[in-house]
Amino acid sequence: MSEIVYPPVIMAARGLFKALDLKFRLEGAERIPRTGGAVLVSNHVSYLDFIFAGLAAHPSGRLVRFMAKKEIFDHRIGGPLMRGMHHIPVDRDAGAASFKAALTALKSGEIVGVFAEATISRSFTVKDIKNGAVRMAVAGKVPLIPITLWGPQRMWTKGHPRKLLQRRVPIAITVGEPMYPKRGDDYDKATRDLRAQMSELLEKAQRGYPELPKPGQEWWQPAYLGGSAPTPEEAAALDLKELEARKSTRGDG
């Protein structure tokens, strides 16, 4: 597979991270296989997560093909970049085609990145997830690898202004123990186990984060740690309201 676009994008991102003096803490990178397919499942706290989740695979010399909503591929700037990096478009009205494309990538030895929560978590906890990632790993006969991110929400997340040039932000990237679901397993139980491991990894990163919010900046801290982010229940209500507004704008029934 030709890699004309991905390496320069990585170099540009690393140059920017260095200029901003971002403080990375990467744990568990050795759990990313150096060869063969895998499904990398990340939590979702910001619009920049695919960049930081991809960094987890760099020590193993791997590139991650992320599944992302089709609208990004339709963007006049983002689209060519996404296609050039061989990411996988997800059309929610044609999910079978997206699944097939991801499975083809897995069987050819690629790592496929999935944000199983589908949308950014406003509560900064792990939302309920569906069993698609588990089914994908089973169909591809590859490991399922959980990963969590903490810190990127301070730079750009839903409902808050972009601060892409913010300096010295600590970014925690944690790779969990691989899971090996197989055909015949209870996929819903495996999904619950996946979410539990992701929640545990995320809470550990949040509690061990080297900074606390300054006065007036408590929005980026989850409610259970005293922050002013919505609770999971409040976040779910906000998501539902947003979804209903989107349907109304499109004229859906």
Per-residue pLDDT, averaged over 87-97, amounts to 87
Q: What is the total count of domains within the chain?
A: 1
| Closest to 158 (Cα-Cα) out of 119, 107, 211, 128 | 119
Question: What backbone torsions phi and psi does residue 149 show, to the nearest 5 degrees?
Answer: -120, 140
Is residue 231 domain-resident? no
Is residue 131 domain-resident? yes
Is residue 13 domain-resident? yes
Q: Give the pLDDT confidence score for residue 93 in this predicted structure.
A: 75
Task: Fill in the DSSP letter of residue 179.
Answer: B
Q: In whole angstroms, give the CA distance from residue 145 to residue 124.
A: 20
Where in the sequence is the domain holding 24, given as residue range(s)?
Answer: 6-218
Is residue 45 domain-resident? yes
Q: Give the pLDDT confidence score for residue 47 in this predicted structure.
A: 95
Task: Tell me the per-residue pLDDT of 129-149, one tens digit each, with 9 for 90 and over.
Answer: 999 999 999 999 999 999 999
Q: What is the pTM of this model?
A: 0.95
Task: Tell me the per-residue pLDDT of 94-113, one tens digit each, with 9 for 90 and over.
Answer: 789 999 999 999 999 999 99
Is residue 238 domain-resident? no
Residue 83, C-beta contacts closer than 8 angstroms, at least 6 positions apart: 73
Is residue 74 domain-resident? yes
Q: Give the pLDDT confidence score for residue 252 in this predicted structure.
A: 59
Is residue 190 domain-resident? yes
Count the alpha carbons within 13 Å of 111 in the hemisphere toward its beta carbon.
Answer: 24
CATH of the domain at 47: 3.40.1130.10
Is residue 174 domain-resident? yes
Q: Give the pLDDT confidence score for residue 95 in this predicted structure.
A: 80
Q: Does residue 177 or residue 118 have the better pLDDT? A: 177
